[in-house]
Amino acid sequence: MNPLKAGRTFPTARRFAGMLSRHPEWVGYVGLVSALLALLLHLGSWNEFAQARWVSSDSLWPVNVFVDLIRDHYSISGWRFSIAPFWFPDLFVTGVFWLLTRNPILATFLAGFLQMFAIVAAFHLMARAIGMTKLFLQDTVLLACSTALTLYVADRPAVNYPNFPMLLLPEGHVGNMLLVLFGWGMALLMIRDKRQGIAPRAWLIFVYAAMCLLAGMSNLFFFPHMLVPLTVALAFAMFLGFMTIRQCWLPVLVGWLAAMLGAILNRVLFTTASVSVQSQVALGPILTSMDVFVRGFGAKLLSGDALHIVALVWASICVANIAWFIRRAALRGVSATLELERFRTLFFVMCLTASMLSVAAIVLGGSSSLAVLKDYEWSMHYLHQTFFLPLFGLPMYVVWVIETVLNGRELRIFAWTLALLMLYVATMVVITAPRPATPIYAYRPSFVRFLDQIAREKNLHYGFAGYWQARLITLLSKSGIRAYAVNVDMSPYLWANNARWYDQSLENRSRQPRLSFVVLDDPVFRLTREDAVRAFGQPAEEMQDQGTRILIYKETADATDLWKAVAANLPLPSFSEDVQSSVKSLSLHRAETTLVPVTLRNTGPALWSTIGKLPVNISYKWFDHGALLPIEGERTRLPRPMKPGDSVDVQVKVVAPDRTGDLILKVSLVQEGVAWFMSAGARPLELPVTVR
């Protein structure tokens, strides 16, 4: 060997070894990767019930958005998003991984696994902003906690409580928790720079503003979880006198403006559900929510539930540290406190405020999980600041305590011991884990495999299924069939789905997809054969796979018309009507009920649907000398769906108002939840009425 070359090699190796010795957290990262690999192996070896817990319509919907837009070329305008569309980081990161892997399940898992690393990075940024110095120890301890949580989940993948899988899947509010932590960290960094006389860094302000804007677009909980606690903490600092408004105004102003702009853009650019869908701000729902939450929290705490005990301990630590700082400032003066103590106190104020506001948001907001479902455990989906943040905040605080006890050498020994121990445990779990015959990223439910087997023989293309079945068929099928989610009445299920699926075929956007099959027995929506027959008639054939029935339909004209009837569960593009009657006037007694014969003709371009959430009915309004009376007219259902050009005779039920006088009765169609035809420009039937 060339001695000169060897001379260059050994110092390089020594430098690398020295660098490695200073970074035990690198070993911690390897341990976490090993734990995630162990989870993948265990999931592939468990039964289909456990696998369905991880690969479901809920967990796959972020990747479905990108598959729909990029591969199938549908429009984003058709998507109906929930209150929190999770645009960033959940949807964005999942989409990136799908572009790299083109595997829906693998992309979903990679996006979820990245959350564990991001949590450690977020707390790293937070500690740096506060002024902590032994960041290698904090990172190592938090990586060890992440590894332990992952191994716990790998050993119990089908357990619903505690719901730790949410930390490993991009379909919950964990992404919002990450944005909250990163937002706090960047805000405190800006304030620290200002206090040190450093000009605000433009890139930091830009990144902070962009993150707040995306957070405002993604989840309204960002406001009570991040911005309000930040504002409260800085107001606390100004009240005690250890910070000034000149040092604090920038992150507060930029954060609020950017997040509010994001919330507005979300409503303008996309179709998202109203907050009222999952919340009722009224005294009754609030009292019910409060009762369910208090009882649920108390029961968990009294039963010794570890998650609730950790949450309570963390809240107590926050309160104790805030109280200690106030006492110290009162006795010795604010000037006697250290900069580290001030910033650490701000962190505890933000954590405590976020935890309390998490609870207040769902209780005072009358969350449907509490007020309607009365399910305390389900409400914990929204309480990550209360229950998940302490899982990492408490170990971080332990590190802060250890730093004051051990010297630098002892800290590194402790960090290396912990990192190597977790790496050893995770590696042994990987070595001993059974090798699955089919890896989890190749998972397909039994009914999806069965549909693939019969797709060519039965000429299957498009079908209906329950929410928990449909997305799995569309994304995991190898034969290219599509299934779209419907309600029990076979109307489109427009929640985290694209409305355009129901009226535009993949091959030809100018026509509706033609019905091929209906999958019954969804575990939640429970579609029945009677529901399908009522909407589509008798199937040509019925098949079954492990308790899941599948109705096979031939693509007849009648079936296509019925498909169109169901697909019309969308706002009409125009409101044109022709309403005629042989009756020219009426004479009624007060509150009298009568039937008015009318002939309706669909003069518009779209079908009038009689089912679903947006059906078309016929009704009326009363007018007194041009003034609309505050009376809601009785609804009369159309006897059948009406295609453009169709006519039908209907007996309209009319109830006279409880008053006398000469009035005008205007009879018109109404698409429920959308608009009255006559309010949208159509000409109603007008009849003079004398009420005696």
Structure confidence by residue, pLDDT tens digits, 143-162: 999 999 999 999 998 888 99
| C-alpha to C-alpha distance for 466 and 493, rounded to whole angstroms | 9
* Predicted local confidence at residue 514, as pLDDT: 84
Structure tokens at 3: 């001695």
How buried is 256 (Cβ within 10 angstroms: 0-12 exposed, 13-18 middle, 19+ buried)? middle
* 551, 591: one domain: no
Which pLDDT band, with edges at 50, 70 and 90, does 535 fall under?
A: confident
Q: What is the CA 2 to chain-centroid distance, rounded? A: 61
Q: Angle at CA 690, nearest 5°, toward 684 and 691?
A: 110
- 279 bridge partner residues: 367
Does the structure show a pLDDT above 70 at 361? yes
Task: Produce one character per residue of 311-347: b if its CB has 16 or more CB atoms within 10 Å, e if not.
Answer: beebbebbeebbeebeebbeeeeeeebeeebbbbbbb
* 662, 588: one domain: yes
Mean pLDDT, rounded, for 483-505: 85
pLDDT per position as a tens digit, 653-684: 999 999 999 999 999 999 988 889 998 889 99
Mean pLDDT, rounded, for 297-316: 96
* 599, 675: one domain: yes
Mean pLDDT, rounded, for 397-409: 90
Q: Which CATH number covers residue 596? A: 2.60.40.770
Of 507, 540, 567, the residue that ends a domain is 567
**How many CA atoms lie less than 13 Å away from 628 in the CB half-sphere?**
9
Which pLDDT band, with edges at 50, 70 and 90, does 325 fall under?
A: very high
Is the pTM for the entire model greater than 0.75?
yes
* 487, 559: one domain: yes
For the chain, what's the residue count? 692
| C-alpha to C-alpha distance for 619 and 382, rounded to whole angstroms | 41
Domain-embedded: residue 463: yes
pLDDT per position as a tens digit, 275-290: 866 777 888 889 999 9
| C-alpha to C-alpha distance for 620 and 270, rounded to whole angstroms | 33
Please count the helices (runs of H) and the strands (runs of E) in the chain: 24, 18
Q: Average model confidence (pLDDT) for the chain?
A: 90
Strand, coil or helix: 462: strand
Does the structure show a pLDDT above 70 at 16? no
* 604, 665: one domain: yes
* 519, 560: one domain: yes
* 585, 559: one domain: no
Mean pLDDT, rounded, for 430-456: 95
Domain-embedded: residue 519: yes
| Rg from Cα positions in the chain | 31
Domain-embedded: residue 92: no
Does the structure show a pLDDT above 80 at 641? no
* 591, 519: one domain: no
Domain-embedded: residue 627: yes
The answer to whether 461 and 514 have CB atoms below 8 angstroms apart is yes
* Predicted local confidence at residue 679, as pLDDT: 87
Mean pLDDT, rounded, for 367-395: 91
Domain-embedded: residue 365: no
Mean pLDDT, rounded, for 637-652: 86
Q: What percent of the chain has pLDDT over 70?
A: 94
- Greater confidence, 12 or 575? 575
* Predicted local confidence at residue 4, as pLDDT: 46
Mean pLDDT, rounded, for 296-310: 96
Structure tokens at 471: 């997305």
| C-alpha to C-alpha distance for 148 and 154, rounded to whole angstroms | 10
| C-alpha to C-alpha distance for 469 and 447, rounded to whole angstroms | 9
Residue range(s) defining the domain that contains residue 618: 577-691
Nearest Cα to 295, choosing from 303, 306, 284? Answer: 303
Domain-embedded: residue 154: no
| Amino acid, single-letter form, for residue 225 | H
Query: Any idea which of 186-200, 203-217, 524-538 has the lowest mean pLDDT?
Result: 524-538
* 555, 665: one domain: no
**How many CA atoms lie less than 13 Å away from 201 in the CB half-sphere?**
13
pLDDT per position as a tens digit, 548-595: 999 999 865 444 555 555 555 577 878 899 999 999 999 999 999 999
Which pLDDT band, with edges at 50, 70 and 90, does 345 fall under?
A: very high
* Predicted local confidence at residue 277, as pLDDT: 67
* Predicted local confidence at residue 557, as pLDDT: 41
* Predicted local confidence at residue 680, as pLDDT: 86
* 465, 519: one domain: yes
pLDDT per position as a tens digit, 45-86: 988 888 998 999 999 999 999 999 999 999 998 898 988 899
| C-alpha to C-alpha distance for 450 and 453, rounded to whole angstroms | 5
Nearest Cα to 148, choosing from 440, 423, 390, 433? Answer: 423
* 526, 591: one domain: no
The answer to whether 330 and 324 have CB atoms below 8 angstroms apart is no
Domain-embedded: residue 331: no
| C-alpha to C-alpha distance for 263 and 274, rounded to whole angstroms | 12
Domain-embedded: residue 589: yes
Which residues, at least 6 apart from 250, have a Cβ–Cβ distance to it below 8 Å?
190, 194, 200, 205
Of 509, 539, 567, the residue that ends a domain is 567
- Overall number of domains in the chain: 2
* Predicted local confidence at residue 489, as pLDDT: 73
* Predicted local confidence at residue 512, as pLDDT: 77
pLDDT per position as a tens digit, 225-273: 999 999 999 999 999 999 999 999 999 999 999 999 999 999 999 988 8
* 504, 619: one domain: no
Query: Any idea which of 4-8, 188-192, 272-276, 521-525 has the lowest mean pLDDT?
Result: 4-8
Of 567, 594, 628, the residue that ends a domain is 567
Secondary structure of 493-554 as H, E, C letters = CCCCEEHHHHCCCCCCCCCCCCEEEEECCCCCCCCCHHHHHHHHCCCCEEEEECCEEEEECC
